[in-house]
DNA sequence: GTGGTCTAGACCACG
DNA sequence: GTGGTCTAGACCACG
């Protein structure tokens, strides 16, 4: 059972929230290689989100190689999903470099960032190498 | 002499670029307590940006307590500017917690983040206590 | 049905009149938690006020936590709207302290202020506790 | 010795601050019937305020009958100053009626306003009838 | 000169 | 449809 939430008041577009949510389901192992994704109309109904918005998220996830559509039978998780997600996350990290330079320049010390990371990484399990 | 650049084609709104740029000028010590900012019209002309856009940035910086307007006379850096900037940057860091949890969950290991931080913090001078 | 009036010739800026008017609608119970506000274009048309001016008011109300924008869908009254409005009004009262000290110093006696308050508070209903 | 302060960062125009300040000097008895006001150039120098701004305040105070100019010899306090000041303050109070209605409608209870007035009126001496 | 407000109109992303 | 950003240009009060 997939659990996704969308916050329509967020400045993050809903389709991006959907992408992030699906990626989370996959990295958490709730959705595995070959598993079917909920149909667009199903997810649209359960989340109260416009079908076009679901569609947009699915198309983008397909573009990234995380999911794939089998004509007539919906979307399913690809074998390379985990790897592709990791790749986009690494790109995201790289894009934060300018932001962190600003933080550092404003006086935020590395120790504070380390404390922040301690919070983030507590309880993060060592990810065994899964080739999925 | 203030050096600001704006990229009109960036997906980051111009007024946000201006806010970040002014904050950088202040944290870098190019603009100090009591210093006047360039007038709206002046900056508008030198950057080729509409005065309304400059004003939007100045108003937001005022709201944050970084600058203050003396109507009829212009905008000035407040005594608490450095502190207010640090405060907003700390808030920005806190808001990145979810993002980093996603990165961690996707398999980005702490060592990789530390390498990232090494790059960010090389050449960041120890900020001496400035009381002004 | 929302009833707002703006006086274009007032020395009070239109966007401030809009803020006060919306707050009045909410405190009067005409707009409740979760209710959508009129869209910017709609209100612009019905009041004969430029959309930018409407937006300026909406943005300030958002900043105060009274309303919230759901991009692509519109603005909505927040659950905490009543509380936030009360908070800003209390701040407004506090800011009148200097003004009243001047009145008192000039010889306006407390009895006269009490008579003034009698007029203000006649017909003000006891506000029952509304949890929403 | 007259003590006036102006805050160039206030949204209250400087010339209004000057008017209020002069009225305060008079109601406090620092300036009495017939006393000369500081010359415009003198006050301009001591406050660091544009002479035109001082002039504007003096003209408005003259209009209200609080001060009067003797051609060639500057401005002085009129015999009716106290009375005129009281009159304008009463008008100011009346103009606050709408504001207070909004406060009341938002849920600010009369008891809270009374507490506010307690603070304002503590230490306000009973003003004996001075015809000046 | 300065900032503050407002209009008119355009273009964009998002749903 | 919705809001968000931006430009161009005007007018005003204030100093």
Query: Which chain B residue has the Cα nearest residue A127?
Result: B107
| Averaged pLDDT, B66-72 | 96
Can you tell me the distance from the alpha carbon of A81 to that of B63, in angstroms, rounded to the nearest whole number?
44
b/e per residue D6-24 (b: at least 16 CB within 10 A): bebeeeeebbebbbbbbbb
Judged by average pLDDT, the poorest of A123-132, B13-22, C107-116 is: A123-132
Residue D5 to residues B47, C81, D2, D16, D89, Cα–Cα distance (Å): 37, 38, 10, 12, 20
Can you tell me the distance from the alpha carbon of A32 to that of A82, in angstroms, rounded to the nearest whole number?
9
Can you tell me the distance from the alpha carbon of C111 to that of A54, in angstroms, rounded to the nearest whole number?
66
b/e per residue A84-101 (b: at least 16 CB within 10 A): bbbeebbeebeebeeebb
Q: Is the confidence at residue C131, as pLDDT, over 50? A: no
Closest by Cα among B63, D120, D11, D23 to C93: D120
The structure tokens 């919230």 sit at: C68
pLDDT digit string, tens, across residues C7-47: 999 999 999 999 999 999 999 999 999 999 999 999 999 99
Query: Which chain C residue has the Cα nearest residue D114?
Result: C114
Cβ contact D–C (≥3 pairs, < 8 Å): yes
Can you tell me the distance from the alpha carbon of A12 to that of B30, in angstroms, rounded to the nearest whole number?
34
Q: Is the confidence at residue B21, as pLDDT, over 60? A: yes
Residue D90 to residues B34, C31, D16, D65, D117, Cα–Cα distance (Å): 38, 36, 17, 15, 16
- In terms of residues, how long is chain C? 132
Check if A100 contacts B (Cβ < 8 Å).
Answer: yes
pLDDT digit string, tens, across residues A29-61: 999 999 999 999 999 999 999 999 999 999 999
pTM: 0.93
Look at residue D6 in the predicted model and tell me its pLDDT.
Answer: 95
Check if A8 contacts C (Cβ < 8 Å).
Answer: yes
Q: Is the confidence at residue B132, as pLDDT, over 50? A: no
Look at residue C127 in the predicted model and tell me its pLDDT.
Answer: 57
pLDDT digit string, tens, across residues C84-95: 999 999 999 999
Q: Is the confidence at residue D120, as pLDDT, over 70? A: yes
Q: Is the confidence at residue B14, as pLDDT, over 70? A: yes
Can you tell me the distance from the alpha carbon of A130 to that of B52, in angstroms, rounded to the nearest whole number?
53
Nucleotide nearest to C50 (CA to C1'): E7
Can you tell me the distance from the alpha carbon of C63 to that of C15, in angstroms, rounded to the nearest whole number?
14
Residue D32 to residues B45, C71, D66, Cα–Cα distance (Å): 52, 62, 11
Check if D131 contacts B (Cβ < 8 Å).
Answer: no
Nucleotide nearest to B73 (CA to C1'): E2
The structure tokens 């004996």 sit at: D128
Q: Is B4 exposed, middle or buried (0-12, 13-18, 19+ CB in 10 A)?
A: middle
Beta strands in chain A (DSSP E): 67-70, 74-77
Give the CB-side neighbour count of residue A121, counting CA atoms within 13 A. 16
Banded pLDDT at D132 (limits 50, 70, 90): very low
Check if C12 contacts D (Cβ < 8 Å).
Answer: no
Q: Is the confidence at residue A129, as pLDDT, over 90? A: no
Check if B123 contacts A (Cβ < 8 Å).
Answer: no
Q: Which protein residues have their Cβ less than 7 angstroms from some atom of strand F?
A: B 8, 13-16, 48-53, 56, 71-73; C 37, 39-42, 51-52, 55, 58-59, 69, 71-75; D 13-16, 49-50, 52-53, 56
pLDDT digit string, tens, across residues A24-34: 999 999 999 99
Residues of chain D with C-beta less than 8 angstroms from the C-beta of C103: 89, 92-93
Long-range pairs of B54-59 with CB within 8 A, sequence gap ≥ 24: B54/B15, B54/B18, B56/B15, B57/B15, B57/B16, B57/B18, B57/B19, B57/B22
CA B5 to chain centre: 13
- Touching A (3+ Cβ pairs <8 A), the chains are B, C
Can you tell me the distance from the alpha carbon of B96 to that of B92, in angstroms, rounded to the nearest whole number?
7
Look at residue C2 in the predicted model and tell me its pLDDT.
Answer: 78
Look at residue B131 in the predicted model and tell me its pLDDT.
Answer: 47
Beta bridge partners of C36: C76
Look at residue C132 in the predicted model and tell me its pLDDT.
Answer: 45
Q: What percent of chain C has pLDDT over 70?
A: 94
Q: Nucleotides on strand F with an atom closer than 7 A to protein CB? A: 1-10, 13-15
**In sequence order, what are the residues at sequence separation of 6 or more whose Cβ sits closer than 8 angstroms to the Cβ of residue C124?**
D104, D105, D110
Q: Which helix (H) or strand (E) holds B74?
A: strand B74-77
String of DSSP letters for D30-96 = SS-TTPBPPPHHHHHHHHT--HHHHHHHHHHHHHTTSEEEETTTEEEE-TTHHHHHHHHHHHHHHHT
Banded pLDDT at A1 (limits 50, 70, 90): low
Contact B37, B47 (CB under 8 A): no
Nearest-CA residue to the C1' of F3? C71
Look at residue D1 in the predicted model and tell me its pLDDT.
Answer: 67
Look at residue B127 in the predicted model and tell me its pLDDT.
Answer: 57
**Cβ contact, residue pair C73, A8, below 8 Å:** yes
Q: Which protein residues have their Cβ less than 7 angstroms from some atom of strand E?
A: A 13-16, 49-50, 52-53, 56; B 37, 39-42, 51-52, 55, 58-59, 69, 71-75; C 8, 13-16, 48-53, 56, 71-73
Banded pLDDT at B64 (limits 50, 70, 90): very high
**Cβ contact, residue pair D104, C120, below 8 Å:** yes
């Amino acid at each position: 059972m997939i659990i996704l939430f969308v916050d329509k008041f967020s400045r993050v577009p809903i389709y991006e929230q959907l992408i992030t949510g699906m990626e989370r389901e996959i990295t958490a192992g709730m959705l595995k290689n070959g598993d079917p994704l909920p149909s667009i109309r199903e997810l649209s109904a359960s989340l109260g989100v416009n079908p076009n918005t679901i569609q947009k998220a699915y198309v983008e996830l397909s573009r990234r190689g995380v999911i794939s559509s089998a004509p007539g039978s919906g979307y399913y998780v690809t074998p390379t999903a985990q790897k592709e997600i990791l790749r986009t996350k690494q790109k995201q990290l790289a894009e934060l470099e300018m932001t962190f330079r600003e933080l550092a320049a404003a006086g935020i010390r590395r120790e504070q960032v380390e404390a922040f990371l301690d919070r983030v990484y507590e309880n993060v399990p060592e990810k065994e190498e899964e080739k999925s």
